[in-house]
């Protein structure tokens, strides 16, 4: 059984390194991870079969809150062990991170662009004269706009890697990585 490490004893890893990349030491690694903002305030604790892939998803969903990460890897997948580490870190923190509470869906679910419509986009989408294809076109354009805004923020953060969103989900007004 993996020896659980205290969150406080793990080292901070920059979310985006000096080369503009995510920590590739976590690529394909199974484990628990904790995400911190620029002030090193804990925002979210999760676990994954591929920490790197999960970090990428969180970065596009919450780019302004992903500055530091701590991780504990394990050799074999075990939901029980990972849930135990997650709960232990939450207890150690003293309070449930906001990303594990009321804002959990923002961290763990695809981005829903519907609440991000401008008033013009909303009027166009809700226009009873428009057919289903026009509605799909409108929502895809909103998804593309939101995607461009996210990519611009990530570029400003210094990210130097390709981010590809799933094009099929855009018709549903959702953004998630491919």
Q: Where are the domains of the chain?
A: 7-108, 111-175
For residue 2, pLDDT beyond 70: no
What is the CATH architecture of 7-108?
A: 3-Layer(aba) Sandwich (3.40)
The per-residue pLDDT of the chain, averaged, comes to 95
Question: Cα separation of 155 and 63, whole Å?
Answer: 10
pLDDT tens-digit readout, 120-177: 999 999 999 999 999 999 999 999 999 999 999 999 999 999 999 999 999 999 999 9
Torsion over CA: 99, 169, 150, 139 (sign): negative
On whether the pTM is more than 0.85, the answer is yes
**How far, in Å, are 10, 37, 70 from residue 23 at the CA level?**
15, 16, 11
Count Cβ atoms below 10 Å from residue 46 Cβ, excluding itself.
22
First-to-last alpha carbon distance for the chain, in angstroms, is 33
78 pLDDT tier (thresholds 50, 70, 90): very high
Question: Cα separation of 111 and 60, whole Å?
Answer: 9
Q: Is 44 helix (H, G, I), strand (E, B) or coil?
A: strand
pLDDT tens-digit readout, 83-105: 999 999 999 999 999 999 999 99
Which tokens in the block code for residue 50?
């591929």
Q: Is 146 helix (H, G, I), strand (E, B) or coil?
A: helix
């Amino acid at each position: 059984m993996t020896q659980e490490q205290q969150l406080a004893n793990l080292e901070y890893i920059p979310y985006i390194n000096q080369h503009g990349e995510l920590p590739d030491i976590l690529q394909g690694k199974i484990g628990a991870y904790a995400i911190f903002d620029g002030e090193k305030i804990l925002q979210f604790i999760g676990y994954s079969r591929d920490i790197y892939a999960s970090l990428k998803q969180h970065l596009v969903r919450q780019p302004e809150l992903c500055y530091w990460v701590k991780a504990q890897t394990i050799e074999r997948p075990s939901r029980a062990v990972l849930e135990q580490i997650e709960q232990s870190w939450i207890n150690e923190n003293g309070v449930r991170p906001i990303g594990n509470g009321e804002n959990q869906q923002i961290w763990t679910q695809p981005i829903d662009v519907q609440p991000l419509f401008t008033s013009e986009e909303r009027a166009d989408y809700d226009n009873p004269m428009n057919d289903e294809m026009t509605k799909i076109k409108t929502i895809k354009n909103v998804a593309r706009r939101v995607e461009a805004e996210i990519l611009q923020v990530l570029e400003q953060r210094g990210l130097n890697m390709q981010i590809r969103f799933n094009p099929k989900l855009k018709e549903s007004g959702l953004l998630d990585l491919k």
